[in-house]
Amino acid sequence: MINILSTLFDSNETYLSKHVAGINRTQAFPARNYVNSDDFIRNTFKDSIIVSGGSDEERSVLLLGLIRSSQDCVVIIHNGNRYITAERLGRYGINASHWSENIYSGFSKTQLLSILTADNADTDLVFFYSYALDVCEVLNKPMTVQGMYSIDWLGIGWQQELLTNSSNRDKALDLLNRFDRNMAERTVKGVCRLERLSRGNTIGESSISEGLNNGKVIIKEVYGSNSAISKQCLEIIRSEAEKGQNFTLVLDDVYIDVPIIRDNFRNVRLILSGTDVSQYQDSMKITNRACSIVAFNHSNYGSCKAISEYWFGEYDRLYSESSSGYSKAFLEPRTDNKSVTIRQNRDTRLKPEMIATIPFGCAFIHTRNGLEGYISVV
């Protein structure tokens, strides 16, 4: 604690208070400093970036600018964000293709069923996948997601095929007998899931290898942030990264603690985006990369606090406190004394409350080279 005795003039007290406030301003986060979003994108065009909070729409506007500015191939994996589909990006002049690579190829029936059901608490889907793969086997169709999806489950053609099947008649009749009302209801649910799983596996679109070689934007929609299918996609991307090709990997609401995210692949720029990225790891150590940060509105105060402390940091805040008194010696007039005490305490550079209340379309930023403030994407 530092004690500073003031002089007899009140202006010294005022001066010290203003001086302390000035020092605090230089260390606190410049929350009122507006940064043009285009300037932010130019400033971070090589940086890995964490984008957290806001709505799908808010994050997607920023992601669109980052994707458009990328000089390398961009691989996008998202968990149902309708604002970053290939069709949507095409409206903004970005030539994007679905990921056509069959991520389910090379698996046995047991392995495929294990991947499809690993994250499913829905027993209806588990029963449907098992049943559908059995039907594919009897009808000599590929036991893959595409094989299951190729069957018109809502029609009766596949049942007629089973009836006329002569190579495995006993199994075919067993399957027909198992298709009761409960299985019919499961089938409706299963068809919807198969449609989503099949997106991006269309022949004629782009594979990862083709996209990397031709500098394309490749998009894959997955079901589940940390599903077994998401993990399989990231493993395929990791194997491509190990070949040394430069590219940008954009993940929206997809996170698994795997090497392609955790480790610092120098040839891969990571843009990790999500509704609340702070929830991915208790320690907030999401990746070993040095990242620029974008924080949109968060409704969870605990998340705001974690983001404030970990990503925007703390500083030694100074406080000035005035006190007054007097002294009087025997037979002497009274002497008034004034003093200012300056103390310091750790404080967050950006208050959690500000992250919780930042308006729609705005976000606080902190870049690797020190650019700070807020941007607006609307």
Give the number of other CB atoms < 10 A from CB of residue 237.
Answer: 25
Of 288, 284, 286, nearest to 305 by C-alpha is 284
Distance (Å, rounded) from C-alpha 235 to C-alpha 238? 5
Strands 291-295 and 48-52: parallel
278 is written with which tokens? 């702070």
Q: Rg of the chain over CA atoms, in angstroms?
A: 30
Residues comprising the chain, all counted:
378
pTM > 0.85: yes or no = no
Of 229, 208, 224, nearest to 74 by C-alpha is 208
**Which strands make up the sheet holding 2-5, listed edge to edge?**
2-5, 335-348, 314-327
Distance (Å, rounded) from C-alpha 54 to C-alpha 115? 31
245 is written with which tokens? 């090709």
| DSSP label at residue 235 | H
277: buried, middle or exposed (CB in 10 Å: 19+, 13-18, 0-12)?
buried
* Amino acid 231: pLDDT: 83
Give the residue ranges of the chain where pLDDT is below 50: 1-10, 200-204
* Amino acid 307: pLDDT: 96
Of 375, 353, 234, nearest to 293 by C-alpha is 375
Of 128, 31, 123, nearest to 349 by C-alpha is 31
3-state DSSP assignment of residue 167: coil
The CATH 3.40.50.300 portion of the chain extends over 37-99+214-313+350-376
CB-CB contact of 292 with 47 (8 Å): yes
Tens of pLDDT, residue by residue over 8-67, are 444 567 777 888 888 888 999 999 999 999 999 999 999 999 999 999 999 999 999 999
CB-CB contact of 49 with 292 (8 Å): yes
The amino acid that residue 164 corresponds to is T
* Amino acid 347: pLDDT: 93
Class for the domain spanning 37-99+214-313+350-376: alpha beta
Query: Taking all residues of the chain, what is their mean pLDDT, rounded to a whole number?
Result: 86
Distance (Å, rounded) from C-alpha 99 to C-alpha 86? 10
Of 344, 341, 243, nearest to 16 by C-alpha is 341
CB-CB contact of 306 with 293 (8 Å): no
**Which strands make up the sheet holding 362-366, listed edge to edge?**
96-98, 217-221, 73-78, 247-252, 268-274, 48-52, 291-295, 362-366, 372-376
CB-CB contact of 350 with 373 (8 Å): no
Distance (Å, rounded) from C-alpha 208 to C-alpha 214? 10
270: buried, middle or exposed (CB in 10 Å: 19+, 13-18, 0-12)?
buried
* Amino acid 185: pLDDT: 92
Dihedral sign (CA 269, 273, 279, 284): positive
